[in-house]
Structures are given as C-alpha cells and as structure tokens.
Amino acid sequence: MEKAVSAADANRRFSQLLHGVRQGRSYIVTSHGRPVAKISPADEPGNIEAGARKALLDRLRHQTAVKIGRWTRDELYEDAR
C-alpha cells in the first residue's frame, strides 16, 4: 500500500523515505492535498522489457492463426494511400 506524504514532509525526511523504499515501500507525494509524484522501488534493469517480451510471446503462442489466403501488393497497401 502506498503511503501519502506531503511535499514539505518528503523534503524534510527524504533519507527516511529512501530507507523505506529500499525495504519495498512506496510513497505518494502530495502538494496541497493533491498527488504530484510517486516514490517507489526502481525495477531491476531489464525487468520491464523482459516482462513485456514474455507477455507478448505468451499471447502469440495462445493466439489462433488465421488463414486469409493470398493477397496482392495493391491489396496489402490499399489503406496507405
């Protein structure tokens, strides 16, 4: 769960917030009661790309191939004109 913290408080306690982030906590920074930023643990390098690649490949593996027959070059590019 993300904890809300005011911008002024975040400024005063930044080291403490970073300590909490290292432990896996996330914070929403507010200004005048409105959310303006999020402080959360950074993903390990490549985790986002690897997750996106895995999701795409999983979807493609389970997607049914559609046979639409042959098409001409003109049919293929007719919408691009």
Instruction: Classify residue 80: in a domain, yes or no.
Output: no
Reported pTM: 0.53
Q: Is the pLDDT of residue 77 over 90?
A: no
Closest CA to 17 of 35, 34, 4, 36: 4
Q: Residue 72: pLDDT above 90? A: no
In a domain, 45, yes or no: yes
CATH number at residue 50: 3.40.1620
pLDDT band at 62 (very low <50, low <70, confident <90, very high): very high
Domain count, the chain: 1
What confidence category does residue 13 fall into, taking pLDDT thresholds of 50, 70 and 90? Answer: very high
Q: Tell me which residue range forms the domain holding 45.
A: 1-71
